[in-house]
Amino acid sequence: MRRNAALIALLAAGSAGAMPASPGRYDAELCVATRPQEAPTCGAAEVEVTPARISVRVADIVYRLALRTAQLDVETMHGQMQIDEFSAAYAWEGSTLRFSDAAKDVRYEVRIGARRAAAR
pLDDT of the chain along its 120 residues, tens only?
Answer: 333 333 233 333 344 556 778 999 999 999 999 988 889 999 999 999 998 899 999 999 999 999 998 899 999 999 999 999 999 999 999 999 999 999 999 999 999 999 998 765
Contacts of 84 (CB under 8 A, 6+ apart): 74, 75, 76
Please report the pLDDT score of residue 51 as a whole number.
87
pTM confidence score: 0.81
Cα dihedral 25, 28, 33, 36 sign: negative
Report the CATH fold assignment for 2-115: Porin (2.40.160)
Are 96 and 112 contacting, i.e. CB atoms less than 8 angstroms apart?
yes
Between CA 20 and CA 107, with CA 41 as vertex, the angle to 5 degrees is: 60
- Other residues' Cβ atoms within 10 Å of the Cβ of residue 36: 9
The span from the CA of 35 to the CA of 104, in Å, is 10
Please report the pLDDT score of residue 75 as a whole number.
97
Give the start-to-end residue ranges of the domains of the chain. Answer: 2-115
